[in-house]
Structure 1
Amino acid sequence: MNTLDALTTRRSVRSYRSDPVPKDALDRIIEAGTYAPTGMGRQSPIIIAITDQKVRNELSALNAKIMGSDGDPFYGAPAVLVVLARKDVPTHVYDGSLVMGNLMNAAHELGIASCWIHRAKEEFELPEGRALLQGLGIDADAYEGIGHCILGYADGAEPEPKPRKEDYVYRIA
């Protein structure tokens, strides 16, 4: 699959099998995330790779609590890549968003399904999220959660794309 095919065929998946993502595929996806463009090359984002099911389930429960739900907002995905970025870098939200895009597109190219799950900002402002960061030696005050890239194998067919809206592009020639 070439890059343009990957970009135009990737879809967000919201139902996953429990099969783990192979470590070599996970490592390649993470590496692709580290090559996302960042403002002035500052590399403000960090990625936390979670494959431990206990920690994954705790994070999912925290995310669900913020959302006001008791379901699994990670849709059964066995792996979660959390992207955070340094708050003191003016482009940190954009930088982290580009990392998320690279992660999801790389996953698709490797046959791994993905979806961006929100509420990372709120999670890592809570004591439980801050404790997770501090346990990894990360200054919880320095980083803001950008998103969760959930990963796994789709349980069923990937969704069909929605038609592109007519006024998506304006040209000045």
Structure 2
Amino acid sequence: MSESTIKDLQTRRAIRRFQAKAPAAALLDTVLETGTYAPTGQGKQAPVIIAVQDPQLRAQLTRMNAEYATPGTDPYYGAPVIVLVLADSTVSTWVEDGSCVLCTMMQAAHAVGLGSVWIHRERQMFDSEEGKALLKAWGLSGNLRGVGALALGIPEGEAPQPKPRKADYILKL
């Protein structure tokens, strides 16, 4: 057993404050590639990972997501990279597959010293006409639906402390 892997799994936290500068390309590439090794139902690899760094597109996604939360806010916490995960909804395990990709990338980000937090509402965003238009402009299938996104970047400050684990988390029978 790799104790460093266990430590990484136990110490990863949601990061909601990021430095403005983008992470090194090699670190971003490591996180994205690691996401492609996440388990998927029957190995079908239904998810698609889209790393957004373009400021105009990032602003558009921020506006779209905020429409389903609090308009005028940045649901991506100012992170310089937004990593969208969509998946082929004709595959029965599309939500689970996309979720595994997101979790795998969060762990990879932590392992290389980056911070991330899972962001919701990508399903609503990409089920909308504007979202479908983006998929079309990107040359992606209309069967793709949003699973979630990561706000990703270099953490600003220390990671939050973990909450105590609840007493009844594990039941051994």
TM beyond 0.5: yes
Question: Aligned to 1:61, which of 35, 47, 63?
Answer: 63
TM-score, normalised relative to structure 2: 0.96
Name the residue aligned to 1:160: 161
Residue of structure 1 equivalent to 2:14: 12
User: Partner of 1:146 in structure 2?
Assistant: 147
Q: Which amino acid aligns with 2:85?
A: V
Q: Name structure 2 gaps, 5 residues minimum.
A: none
Tell me the CA shift for residue 69 of structure 1.
Answer: 2.5
- Residue 41 of structure 2 corresponds to 39
Q: Kindly provide the amino acid, as one letter, of the partner of residue 32 in structure 2.
A: I
CA distance in 2, matches of 1:158, 1:69: 27
The aligned residue for residue 79 of structure 1 is: 81
C-alpha distance in structure 2 between counterparts of 1:105 and 1:114, whole Å? 9
Instruction: Give the superposed CA RMSD.
Output: 1.1
Aligned partner letter, 1:25: L
Per the TM alignment, residue 66 of structure 1 is displaced from its structure 2 partner at its CA by: 1.4
Equivalent-residue separation in structure 1 for 2:170 and 2:107 (angstroms): 22
Q: Partners of 1:89 and 1:60 in 2: how far apart?
A: 28
TM-score, normalised with respect to structure 1 = 0.96
Deviations 1:15-59 (A, max 9, x none): 111010111111110111000001110111110110111111110
Candidates 136, 139, 143, aligned match of 1:137? 139
Give 1:136 shift.
1.2
- 1:94 alignment counterpart: 96
How many angstroms does 1:127 deviate by? 1.8
Give ranges in structure 1 of 5+ residues lacking alignment: none
Quote the Cα distance in structure 2 between the aligned partners of 1:4 and 1:132.
Answer: 39
Give the fraction of aligned pairs with identical amino acids, expressed as a percent: 43
Deviation by residue 1:116-135 (Cα, 9 ceiling, x = unmatched) = 00000000011221121111
Whole-angstrom CA distance in 1 between matches of 2:19 and 2:82:
14
How far 1:105 sits from its partner (Å)? 0.3
Aligned pairs, how many? Answer: 171
Letter in 1 for 2:165: R
